[in-house]
Amino acid sequence: MSNPVINYEKELNEAQYEAVFVTEGPALVIAGAGSGKTRTLVYRVARLVELGVNPESILLLTFTRKAASEMMDRASQLLDVRCRAVSGGTFHSTANYILRRYGDLIGFPGYSIIDRGDCAEVVGYIVGELGIKRKELKLPRNSTIVDIISKAINKSMKVPELLETYYPHLTDLSDTINVLAGKYDEYKKTHMVMDYDDLLVKLKKLLVEFPGVCRALGNRYRYIMVDEYQDTNPLQAEIVELLGKDHRNVMVVGDDSQSIYSFRGADIRNILEFPGIFPDAKIIKLEENFRSTQPILELTNAIIERARQKYTKCLFTSKSGGIRPQLVVARDEAEQSCWIVEKIDSLRREGIPLREMAVLFRSSFHSFDLEVQLSKGSIPFAKYGGLKFAESAHIKDLLAHLRVFLNPHDRLSWNRILKLLPGVGQATANKVIKWLNADVPSLDRFKEYAATQKGKMKVLLDLVRLFDALSDPDLDVKDLVAITIKYYEPILTQKFDDYPKRARDLSYLQEWSAPFESLEQFLTDMALEPPEVNRAPSDFAERADFLTLSTIHSAKGLEWRIVFIINAANGYFPSRHSLLSDEDMEEERRLMYVACTRAKEQLYIVYPETGRDSYYGSVMLEMSEFMRGLDGTLTDVVTAAESLHGGGRQFRRAKKGISSVKTSRGFNIKAGDVFRHPDLGMGVVLEIMDRNRARVYFKKLGIRVIDLRTVKEGQWVVR
């Protein structure tokens, strides 16, 4: 504790200082993008601990565990290690922590947590049990049914009511889906499982029905801070209210113009109505932007000013200078990817590390093409968002074995692992599970069953051997994972063509499991806060410096010197699902705002002029409507072809008139000609550089400069 006293006045601006020093009573901090929100929270944690508050009685609720743990690290550096002891995490992990202790009061003495995929499987199982004719009824996919059930809970609506508003085409199925929702709930109760929503629902139930527990928890968490409050749902708001009602030391921090999770039930009204719940709440606005340069801020302010809903603040910066955001028009997705790769390469050569750059997109599949091109261009990257590591088939396979080992009641996992055995399909799996459930299911019972089997069914003994190996009490979590991997590897190789990649994931999983003290903790954590990278750089050299690819949702709260936004075209971003609803379009706009405000120094917004459509083939696209009217005024508009290779110089030259050239072999070549090179394949001429050189875009290799003296006339196909 030898750190010098923190100089709050020097290190914070006025508004931040005020937020840090309001240590008692309710407070609402409206924090604009890049206004030092995290900094403020960190200093406030340090301040409270400095004042002698027990760190464990500070509850810091954030959107991801990583965010909480980074804040605690920074506070520790500022003050001392006591800050590491702050109770921090997501709403869900905090709910889990509390329910593990008090769950028996509401009928859940123990439980496992199931993810969205598991939920869908439960629904599928129930549909089968009830003998519902999927096709006849035109029942939507299981995952859609789960979405409906979850949305109903998060928006506090009844299923039929929700269907009317959000899924009008499914109102005919209202009764069926309602029945399914009921059965689904029953299943969870009898099998002792909770989904993500349950964690919040059950926590609230506990707080409401057991005032004593509520008081005890309020007493334990004397200082509550909630980050990203604009993205909480009404259920979460009620939980905060219940926990804080005695001491009222509740500070919520957020930005109404960055609310991007309404699809998950988040309600922007939470933040706007906070002063209604705590009428004496201090309202503090952080409006100075420390992140972006003036031209970027001008663009982002313009984007959000055009929103229908008026927001509560206006950002300013004292930073001047900086280059204007660039709006880059590419011919198609291939050219877009190609441009990004080249641009990143040239920035890297200028000495900017990859870790200072990010490519952001609306939907995770938007980056597929780019991922391929980056790999070809030897640019290492990590991808965030989209299908999670923990949700991929091979990881779920592996974990299912451990889940059965821990809890033989888990019928979903039994089903999964049995079907992995050769010669075992759904019918056999059902038979085994039925037999197991005729009595109390246990590993011994399974062993008994396997022993009686003959012929093909002897493969069940493989599983028995696995469970025997896992039963050694001296093994730690990492050993258990290692043994299971060894068992699973032959199945993996057989099942997946891309098994080397997946095998790497498995060893990564093994690494990840090492610090856990119990299998239960490990499995809970995998459901609640799994590793977030879903495509990590493959080797150690690459791990030193890599590019970030991320969905905008996963980029929340982060910043980079250079940001690229791709596929900024109507239908992609804004998403085509949102085009018909004003409300959804408003959220898309906020999403664009979040994306652009991630950039500190340079911002590139890229879109392709043509796209692929499964019905129409090639289609024309238009620039994202959030950029309309801002192109050319607050952004520079360039085409990808011009901009490549520091295109300015070549662009001028092209303008001067070299658009066609007579080669030394005596025939004319012009930009736009399609051409077949004997070694490089099909290409299109982008630009004639001089008498002897042209830049050509090859389908296979991207852009290459070729020597015109070497080409023969017969190779050209004039368009």
The amino acid present at 687, given as its one-letter code, is E
**Binding residues among 185-204 for DNA as defined by CB under 7 A:** 196
Task: Determine whether 236 is exposed, middle or buried from the number of CB atoms within 10 Å of its CB (0-12, 13-18, 19+).
Answer: buried
Does 87 participate in binding DNA (rule CB under 7 A)? no
C-beta closer to DNA: residue 430 or 518: 430
Query: Nearer to DNA by C-beta: 109 or 425?
Result: 425
Judged by CB under 7 A, which of 392, 610, 659, 692 binds DNA? 392
553 binds DNA (CB under 7 A): yes
500 part of the interface to DNA, by CB under 7 A = no
632: contact with DNA by CB under 7 A: no
Residue of 274, 267, 222 whose CA lies nearest to 253: 274
For DNA, the binding residue among 109, 160, 353, 422 (CB under 7 A) is 422
304 vs 315, which CB is nearer to DNA?
304
| Closest approach of DNA to the CB of residue 594, in Å | 11
Backbone angle region of 657, left / alpha / beta, with phi > 0 → left and psi within -120 to 50 → alpha? left
Q: What are the Cα distances from residue 698, in Å, to 50, 338, 339, 677?
A: 63, 10, 13, 9
Q: Which is nearer to DNA, 516 or 651 (CB)?
A: 516
Paired with 668 in beta bridges are: 662
In three-state secondary structure terms, 277 is: helix
419-424, Cβ contacts within 8 angstroms, sequence gap of 24 or more: 420/488, 420/491, 420/495, 421/459, 421/460, 421/462, 421/463, 422/459, 423/456, 423/457, 423/459, 424/457, 424/459
Taking the least distance from each CB to DNA, the nearer of 46 and 555 is: 555
Nearer to DNA, 293 or 551 (CB): 551
Among 84, 101, 134, 704, binds DNA (CB under 7 A): 134
Contacts of 265 (CB under 8 A, 6+ apart): 151, 153, 154, 155, 233, 234, 235
C-alpha span between 154 and 265 (Å, rounded):
5
Residue from 126, 327, 528, 640 in contact with DNA (CB under 7 A)? 528
Q: Which of 101, 577, 699, 719 binds DNA (CB under 7 A)?
A: 577
Nearest-angstrom CA–CA distance, 489 and 506: 9
Q: In this chain, which of 84, 101, 133, 141 binds DNA, going by CB under 7 A?
A: 141
Enumerate the β-bridge partners of residue 611.
619
Which one of 42, 50, 91, 284 is in contact with DNA (CB under 7 A)? 91
**Residue placing its CB nearer to DNA in the complex, 341 or 528:** 528
**Does residue number 551 form part of the binding site for DNA (CB under 7 A)?**
yes
Q: What are phi and psi of 118, to 5 degrees?
A: -60, -40
- Residues in CB range of 151: below 8 A, 6 or more apart: 157, 162, 166, 265
For position 425 contacting DNA by CB under 7 A, the verdict is: yes
Residue placing its CB nearer to DNA in the complex, 90 or 293: 90
Shortest Å distance, C-beta 12 to DNA: 29
Q: Which stretch binds DNA (CB under 7 A): 13-21, 50-58, 114-122, 632-640?
A: 114-122
CB 99 within 8 A of CB 108: yes
Q: Which is nearer to DNA, 530 or 683 (CB)?
A: 530
Is position 614 an interface residue for DNA (rule: CB under 7 A)? yes
Contact region for DNA (CB under 7 A) — 36-44, 74-82, 332-340, 416-424? 416-424
The correct pick among 69, 178, 309, 575 for binding DNA (CB under 7 A) is: 575
Nearer to DNA by Cβ, of 281 and 360: the residue is: 360
Check binding of 385 to DNA (CB under 7 A). Answer: yes
Q: Taking CB under 7 A as the rule, does residue 92 contact DNA? A: yes
Give the CA count within 13 Å in the CB-facing half-sphere of 492. 23
Site string for DNA, 663-692 (x = CB under 7 A): ------------------------------
Residue 617, C-beta contacts closer than 8 angstroms, at least 6 positions apart: none
Is the CB of 49 or the CB of 421 nearer to DNA? 421
* Interaction mask 480-499, DNA, x per CB under 7 A: ------------------x-
Minimum distance from CB of 464 to DNA (Å)? 18
Whether the Cβ atoms of residue 18 and residue 28 lie closer than 8 Å to each other:
no
Q: Distance between CA 364 and CA 694 in Å, rounded?
A: 35
Task: Answer yes or no whether residue 100 interacts with DNA by CB under 7 A.
Answer: no
According to the binding rule CB under 7 A, does residue 364 interact with DNA?
yes
Residue 532 interacts with DNA (CB under 7 A)?
yes
Task: Identify which range of 20-28, 171-179, 251-259, 386-394 contacts DNA by CB under 7 A.
Answer: 386-394
From the CB of 361, what's the least distance to DNA, in Å?
9
What is the closest distance, in whole angstroms, from the C-beta atom of residue 381 to DNA in the complex?
A: 14
Contact 229, 63 (CB under 8 A): no
Contacts of 404 (CB under 8 A, 6+ apart): 410, 413, 414, 417
3-state SS record for 112-171: EECCHHHHHHHHHHHHHHCCCCHHHHCCCCHHHHHHHHHHHHHCCCCHHHHHHHHCHHHH
Residue holding tokens 């970027």? 296
C-alpha span between 79 and 85 (Å, rounded): 13
Could you tell me the smallest distance in angstroms from the CB atom of residue 679 to DNA?
28
Cα–Cα distance between 671 and 290 in angstroms, integer? 45
Q: Does 427 bind DNA (CB under 7 A)?
A: yes
Distance from C-alpha of 29 to C-alpha of 33, rounded to nearest angstrom: 12
Nearer to DNA, 275 or 531 (CB): 531
Q: Which is nearer to DNA, 112 or 554 (by Cβ)?
A: 554
DSSP 6: P
Instruction: Please report how close the Cβ of residue 112 comes to DNA at its closest, in angstroms.
Output: 15
The DSSP element (H or E) to which 638 belongs, if any, is strand 636-639
| Residue 565 makes contact with DNA by CB under 7 A | no
CA 301/CA 306 separation, integer angstroms: 9
Residue 424 is a binding residue for DNA (CB under 7 A): yes
Question: Is residue 554 close enough to count as binding DNA by CB under 7 A?
Answer: yes
Provide, rounded to whole angstroms, the least separation between the CB of residue 295 and DNA. 28
Q: Which is nearer to DNA, 26 or 385 (CB)?
A: 385
Size of the site for DNA (CB under 7 A): 52
Residue 506 touching DNA (CB under 7 A): no
Q: What whole-number distance in Å separates Cα of residue 417 and Cα of residue 407?
A: 14
Min dist. Cβ of residue 114 to DNA (A): 11
The string of DSSP letters for 212-265 reads HHHHHHHHH--EEEESSGGG--HHHHHHHHHHHTTT--EEEEE-GGG---GGGT
* Contacting range for DNA; rule: CB under 7 A; set: 110-118, 316-324, 434-442, 593-601: 110-118
The footprint of DNA on residues 232-271 (CB under 7 A) is 260-261, 263-264
Q: Which stretch binds DNA (CB under 7 A): 16-24, 87-95, 335-343, 649-657?
A: 87-95
How many alpha carbons fall within 13 Å on the CB side of residue 518? 4
Q: Is position 116 an interface residue for DNA (rule: CB under 7 A)?
A: yes
Distance CA 63, CA 89 (A): 8
Figure out which of the listed residues 90, 270, 484, 548 binds DNA, where binding follows CB under 7 A.
Answer: 90
Q: Do the Cβ atoms of 194 and 202 come closer than 8 Å?
A: yes
Describe the strand order of the beta sheet including 326-330 as a list of residue ranges: 533-535, 381-384, 547-551, 357-361, 560-565, 599-608, 326-330, 636-639
Footprint of DNA on this chain (CB under 7 A)? Answer: 63-64, 90-93, 115-117, 120, 124, 134-135, 141-142, 147, 150, 196, 260-261, 263-264, 362-365, 385-388, 392-393, 422-429, 498, 528-529, 532, 551, 553-554, 575, 577-578, 584, 614
